[in-house]
Amino acid sequence: MTGVAAASPATTPAAAPAPSGEPLREPPQYTSSHGVLRARIVVERRKVELAGRKVYALTYNGFYMPPTLRLRPGDRMELAMVNKVRPYTNLHVHGLHVSPVGHSDNVFVHIHPGQTFHYRYQFPRDLAPGTYWYHSHGHPYAAPQVLGGMSGIIIVDGLRRHLPPGLRTIEEHVVALKDFQLEDDAIRSENIKIGAPTNRTVNGQIQPRIQIRPGETQLWRLANISANIYYRLHLPGQRFHVIAQDANPVDRVWSADTLLIPAGARYDVLVQGGPSGRVDLETLPYNTGPGGNQFPQVTLASVVSGGAPERPAQLPSTFAPRHDLSNARVAARRTVVFSESDPPSGDKYYINGRTFDEQRVDIRSRLNTVEEWTVRNTADEQHSFHMHTNDFQVMSVNGHPYKAHSLQDTVNLPVDGTAVIRIRFADYPGRTVFHCHILNHEDEGMMAVLQIVR
């Protein structure tokens, strides 16, 4: 993997110091006003404070945990992106239903050092509210750039209108999950190993403290904005009550004591404070398969319940209108195969037997139709399937019906398994992509071009 910016000598990744237990810091926000969000984003390598030490990172406007972009359905967003890193970069607004061409969500753009690119996005009025994110998609440098720090949160407001009136003003927290591997005084940007020791952060902090009152209900925006790794979130004695998945409001609120968040995925959840005391928000051990990686158990944050207790609110059971493609007319059925080369031929990752070529169109789909894709994973490790521009409904996994409560833009593919999805290609023609969101795999070929035609 070719690095970005200046590379440091190869050494063993350093571990982060002991946690400080500082209060969770919310990222700064750039918020739309009168229907427009305008911002200047400078991409540069500079020193930031991480885990109690100064290290070189790839930053947006000088931040390892960059500003949250906050807008409303129907808004316009204008971003002037100034690039100061090698060899080039670009910007992807992950999960957003917006045009994939021109100066919008065009991942084929190359912004070279010293160049400024003016992004212009016009979002539809029915844009789904929830938590999205933005990151570099400069192929084949996505993994080192995102691992280096180039990822941040996007919030589309509107979830609260589906909540009961008494819950529409609850406190919310961004819980952005990203990790870094240290190499001397810099985040590693070459020879990235997914299973190497890494430092997991919440909003760029090591084991921060999240405060909640006993019985209080909060909205947490859980987002895996790391380059490669998985999270299996658990909060002992508590449940996550899911109100949106991948920024798609659910029709029925569902709850779990553990949430698997594969690379690229997000959940908006309600959490209620437990009895006075402290519990650890942790990611549990997770194994992505014999050819994949084993991620250890790690404490991510401490959740401290204290102060004047509240009577726990009754949480909603129903939420937003349902988007169901079960009875849609299917215009085409396709099979998409994710596969890998066998050692010792080297790591190569394929879709339908081919590595990514941006000059080649792999699939042509017609605008305003619904297709059913059978996505097969023949590898002995899991992959995180992600679709740009249009979200999809998961119909089944490994032949078992899947009770989808919302659309998604990411689904985890089991080892030697299959997911069946349905996609409606709505509103936007043009050239876009789908890929594995384990970015090392994407960079090594596991991405394909989808042309949406009229």
Task: Enter the tokens of residue 331.
Answer: 């215009």
Query: What pLDDT score was predicted for residue 266?
Result: 98
Query: What pLDDT score was predicted for residue 19?
Result: 42
Query: What pLDDT score was predicted for residue 346?
Result: 63
140 preceded by cis ω (within 30°)?
A: yes
Contact by Cβ (8 Å): 197, 13: yes
b/e map 250-285, b = 16+ CB within 10 Å: bbebbeeeebbbbbbbbbbbbbbbbeeeebebbbee
Query: What pLDDT score was predicted for residue 10?
Result: 31
b/e map 151-186, b = 16+ CB within 10 Å: bbbbbbebbeebbeeebeeeebbbbbbbbbbbbeeb
Cα separations (Å) of 370 from 115, 189, 250, 321, 327? 39, 40, 21, 19, 10
CATH of domain 330-453: 2.60.40.420
DSSP, collapsed to helix, strand or coil, labels residue 441 as helix
List the beta bridge partners of residue 14: 182
Question: Which among 92, 142, 152 has a CA at the least distance from the CA of 117?
Answer: 92
In angstroms, the CA 173 to CA 205 distance is 14
CATH class of the region 165-305: mainly beta
Query: What pLDDT score was predicted for residue 227?
Result: 98
In angstroms, the CA 261 to CA 265 distance is 6
Question: Which among 183, 198, 192, 254 has a CA at the least distance from the CA of 230?
Answer: 198
CATH of domain 29-158: 2.60.40.420
CATH 2.60.40.420-classified regions of the chain: 29-158, 165-305, 330-453
Query: What pLDDT score was predicted for residue 1?
Result: 35
Q: What is the DSSP-derived secondary structure letter of residue 162?
A: G
Question: Which amino acid, one-letter code, is at 3?
Answer: G
- Beta strand spans in 123-239 (E): 130-135, 151-156, 172-180, 182-183, 186-187, 199-202, 209-212, 217-224, 231-234
List the beta bridge partners of residue 118: 80
- pTM for the whole structure: 0.94
Phi, psi of 453 (to 5 degrees): -115, 155
Q: Identify the burial level of 85 via C-beta atoms within 10 angstroms of its C-beta, where 0-12 means exposed, 13-18 middle and 19 or more buried.
A: buried
In angstroms, the CA 95 to CA 250 distance is 16
Query: What pLDDT score was predicted for residue 343?
Result: 63
Query: What pLDDT score was predicted for residue 167?
Result: 98
Q: What is the DSSP-derived secondary structure letter of residue 313?
A: P
List the beta bridge partners of residue 279: 303
Instruction: Name the stretches of the chain with pLDDT < 50.
Output: 1-19
Question: Position of tokens 């002992």?
Answer: 236
Query: What pLDDT score was predicted for residue 376?
Result: 98
Question: Which among 102, 92, 110 has a CA at the least distance from the CA of 154?
Answer: 92
